Amino acid sequence: MKFGHFDDEAREYVIETPVTPYPWINYLGSEDFFSLISHTAGGYTFYKDAKMRRLTRYRYNDIPTDSGGRYFFIKDGDDVWTSSWLPMKKDLDFFETRHGMGYTRITGERGGLKVSTLYFVPLGETAEVQKVTITNTSDSEKSFSLFSYLEFCLWNAQDDQTNYQRNLSIGEVEVDGSAIYHKTEYRERRDHYAVYGVNAEIAGFDTDRETFVGLYETLAEAKVPHAGQAQNSMASGWYPIGSHQVDSTLQPGESRDLVFVLGYVENTPENGQEKWADDAKQVINKTRAQALLARLSTTEAADAAFDALGVYWTDLLSAYTVTSPDDKLNRMVNIWNQYQCMVTFNMSRSASYFETGIGRGMGFRDSTQDLLGFVHLIPDRARERILDIAATQLPDGSAYHQYQPLTKRGNNELGSGFNDDPAWLIIGVDGYLKETGDDGILDEIVPFDNNDALAETLYTHLTRSFEFTRNNLGPHGLPLIGRADWNDCLNLNCFSTTPGESFQTTENQAGGVAESTFIAAQFVLAAGQYATIADRRGDTAQATLARTAAAEMSEALLTHGWDGDWFLRAYDFYGNKVGTAEDTEGQIWIEPQGFAVLAGVGVEHNPDGTPVKTSPAFRALDSVDRLLGSEHGLVLQYPAYKSYRIELGEVSTYPPGYKENGGIFCHNNPWVIIGETVLGRGAKAFDHYRKITPAYREDISEVHRTEPYVYAQMIAGKEASRHGEAKNSWLTGTAAWNFVTVSQYLLGVRTDYDGLVVDPQIGPDVAEFTVTRQARGATYVITVANSGREGSRASLEVDGVAIAGRTVPYAAAGATVQVRATL
């Protein structure tokens, strides 16, 4: 069942009913100011850091779900309603939410009034605009009042939810004309406040929640809109809110626009602003807030800011586009998957409807992988991100597992010891170099451990990454796992019996010999990439060393990491196999199968170049199909663990079929998909892709439940009672890996050092398509005639001339190159 539809022309998902299977959200903001907004206007806003600078309040775990946001109440005669359906839930004659690129438009109509609100964050501003358009759709004159409503958060979102003995006494506001100022803690150490203004005369305001809502009332019963008159309440402690009353009279067919602006303002010595407007230091200096409101004080100004946002997105999304007969494929590639990659760039794993914004910092592993999904969109910011991340690496090549975005420093509480982290740095830099050709980044001097005294070139950082794995091998020549590898829940050195203890940071079995076949496969890929980088710098000795190390690791995987029909997953603390047919549960795990094959391990060729079908790579992926396959995607392992296995850690704590215990982790399905393209099995690859990709799941939204336009981290696996139900949408490495997979392997267009590789493997269902790719300043128009035959590879014509191989040499900046691929 569908609850809306894609409007590809407008780059929007159009939600047609408020009762979706879960709140379906969007993100506003592209630089420093961000908002989460659901299809019923729930969510919250923050400046830079969702924990430390939260402007508005949101309650996770609330009843009903998603009941905090920015709302507009309409008082029309005796009728009171909210245009976003929530919180009042009055029946609407029309409801529609359009989630677009950095904006959301929510429209509700009732009793002859249509209220449409466009929410967005203008480029260059630290503010959310809420442009409300009210139209009288009846045939008589209408006089009515509109009440805005939002609840301020006392800045630190964690403290806000825990420290009531202090917080309920500190709330402070000012009101000046139509602008409401939230200034809690400004009298002491804060140099920032929030402003909520509207470009119209107001008939009153409220800033005290109890006055507006009542103490025992729900938001749906809020007193002020029901009474129809604002009380001009001034918050003093308790719960500061922002609410304006605007009265209007509209003739039939007449419309009125109101531009509400919720902004964040700093007064600092750096921006030359006095903190106070008066000597007594009681009145805040409003100069910058007033300038902000003035910049957005007309419909025209708001519209111009909105248009600029559209241009920004058109420009971003033009780097890679596809035209094919498959609309679902087109919309994922051209719009939504790239959009989600940008959101993961901005948010990392901080703020979503499954991440509270007060938890995790930026992950070393997560951010280096996210980079692969957005490097073609914003290469300059990718460069900066690489240097920030590398600066948190430790001198032995290991890494802080997380760092804080405000300070850019490694997080001491979590520390290091996730032994897959180092290799991800090489994999991220490899993606950046191939995209940009910016070899100069390798000579940047970057600190280790954020300590300038330990700074070395970025190339040296990569060398240390490479060496780290080599220096940390176990008895089978496979990498030691440390606290965990990519799978954060495979904790082979934590034997925990205490509820609540962290599986990841409690290493109570230090000195163990637990080894990871996943890191082995990852090392084969990364060492190969590092060897190429070394070669290109003329460091042939290092290149040879790396190639030898990769070959040895490949060998170790095939000898000690092979179970007979698939790759083992690990050796545990005692040296016992994990992921073996000899066990009753967890017999086969997805991660090493996909990653080994994509790294080329176990791929054998006949003398004529065709692949050997009995080679380990084929057997591994056939086993994946047979044992991990399901109608909703490939599960992480099978059979799932039914009871707690102390020696495996968190993985077995999840009920069977959820998360890392047999859930469908949409982040690692792509590794298998890429693996299938390596084996020339495009049809199979595309099949796996379609099972987890949201646009193809739109028709079963009632099963899938989360947004049909973005990936979720996990879909419940075949052993779960709710097989097919997704969770943790938006902030997941799934976004980047699926974009890499579809753009570079299925459609097959990827940047390399010396040219653009064109090597599609998508099977027969997409018989022809055109990819337009901008790379290094030139435009490549690649038209593909695709038989989809298993094992066939493209032959290329470049500007009408056949070339050998599948690499189109880079053209001069400004050139347009026509490529014809046939297979």
Distance in Å, CB of 813 to ligand GLC, minimum: 37
| Distance of alpha carbon 112 from alpha carbon 253, whole angstroms | 10
Distance in Å, CB of 714 to ligand GLC, minimum: 8
User: In the bound complex, which residue of the shown chain has the CB atom lying closest to ligand GLC?
Assistant: 488
Cβ atoms of 481 and 515 within 8 Å: the answer is yes
| Distance of alpha carbon 405 from alpha carbon 351, whole angstroms | 13
Identify the DSSP state of 24.
-
Q: Alpha helices of 561-650 — where are they, by DSSP H?
A: 590-598, 616-623
Distance in Å, CB of 486 to ligand GLC, minimum: 5
Query: Does 142 interact with ligand GLC (rule: CB under 6 A)?
Result: no
Q: State the helix-helix crossing angle for 458-470 and 517-536, rounded to 10 degrees.
A: 140
Which CB atom, from 262 or from 489, has the smaller least distance to ligand GLC? 489
Interface mask toward ligand GLC for 596-635; x: CB under 6 A: ----------------------------------------
Closest CA to 739 of 658, 673, 656: 673
Site for ligand GLC (CB under 6 A): how many residues? 15
Q: Which stretch binds ligand GLC (CB under 6 A): 215-223, 304-312, 362-370, 719-727?
A: 362-370
* 749-751: strand order across its sheet: 749-751, 755-758, 807-809
Which CB atom, from 33 or from 418, has the smaller least distance to ligand GLC? 418
Query: Binding residue for ligand GLC (CB under 6 A) from 29, 363, 657, 760?
Result: 363
Binding positions for ligand GLC, 634-653, rule CB under 6 A: 650
Exposed (0-12), middle (13-18) or buried (19+): which is 554, by Cβ within 10 Å? buried
Interface mask toward ligand GLC for 337-356; x: CB under 6 A: ------------x-------
DSSP string, 698-767: GGGHHHH-S-TTS-EEEE--TTSTTTT-EEEESSSTHHHHHHIIIIIIIS-EEE-SSEEEE-----TTS-
| Distance of alpha carbon 774 from alpha carbon 780, whole angstroms | 6
Q: What is the CA radius of gyration of the chain?
A: 28
Distance in Å, CB of 713 to ligand GLC, minimum: 5
Q: Which stretch binds ligand GLC (CB under 6 A): 226-234, 360-368, 377-385, 557-565?
A: 360-368
Which CB atom, from 240 or from 733, has the smaller least distance to ligand GLC? 733
Which CB atom, from 366 or from 430, has the smaller least distance to ligand GLC? 366
List Cα–Cα distances, 686 to 6, 403, 745, 766, in angstroms: 21, 36, 10, 10
Interface mask toward ligand GLC for 658-677; x: CB under 6 A: -xx------x----------
| Distance of alpha carbon 344 from alpha carbon 727, whole angstroms | 16
Q: Which stretch binds ligand GLC (CB under 6 A): 273-281, 359-367, 388-396, 761-769?
A: 359-367
Which CB atom, from 402 or from 450, has the smaller least distance to ligand GLC? 402
| Distance of alpha carbon 343 from alpha carbon 348, whole angstroms | 8
Which CB atom, from 419 or from 487, has the smaller least distance to ligand GLC? 487
Which CB atom, from 98 or from 667, has the smaller least distance to ligand GLC? 667
Distance in Å, CB of 671 to ligand GLC, minimum: 12
Q: State the helix-helix crossing angle for 421-436 and 458-470, rounded to 10 degrees.
A: 140
Cβ atoms of 144 and 225 within 8 Å: the answer is no
Which CB atom, from 371 or from 798, has the smaller least distance to ligand GLC? 371
Query: Binding residue for ligand GLC (CB under 6 A) from 365, 483, 718, 806?
Result: 365
Which CB atom, from 733 or from 748, has the smaller least distance to ligand GLC? 733
Amino acid type, 672: V
Cβ atoms of 86 and 67 within 8 Å: the answer is yes
First-to-last C-alpha distance (Å) of the chain? 37
Pairing label, strands 778-785, 816-822: parallel
Q: Is the dihedral of CA 639, 641, 645, 648 positive or negative?
A: positive
Which CB atom, from 650 or from 698, has the smaller least distance to ligand GLC? 650
CA 614 to chain centre: 38
Query: Binding residue for ligand GLC (CB under 6 A) from 12, 125, 366, 435?
Result: 366
For 623-669, strand residue ranges (E) read 637-638, 664-665
Catalytic residues: 488
Distance in Å, CB of 494 to ligand GLC, minimum: 11
Distance in Å, CB of 421 to ligand GLC, minimum: 10
CA 817 to chain centre: 33
Query: Binding residue for ligand GLC (CB under 6 A) from 136, 184, 233, 732?
Result: 732
Query: Does 713 interact with ligand GLC (rule: CB under 6 A)?
Result: yes
Distance in Å, CB of 691 to ligand GLC, minimum: 19
- 616 cis-preceded (ω within 30 degrees of 0): no
Distance in Å, CB of 403 to ligand GLC, minimum: 14
Cβ atoms of 80 and 226 within 8 Å: the answer is yes
Which CB atom, from 109 or from 650, has the smaller least distance to ligand GLC? 650
List Cα–Cα distances, 728 to 287, 368, 502, in angstroms: 41, 20, 20
Binding positions for ligand GLC, 481-500, rule CB under 6 A: 486-489
Distance in Å, CB of 732 to ligand GLC, minimum: 6
Distance in Å, CB of 220 to ligand GLC, minimum: 35
* Phi, psi angles (nearest 5°) of residue 581: -60, -15
Interface mask toward ligand GLC for 83-122; x: CB under 6 A: ----------------------------------------
Residues that bind ligand GLC (CB under 6 A): 349, 363, 365-366, 486-489, 650, 659-660, 667, 713, 732-733
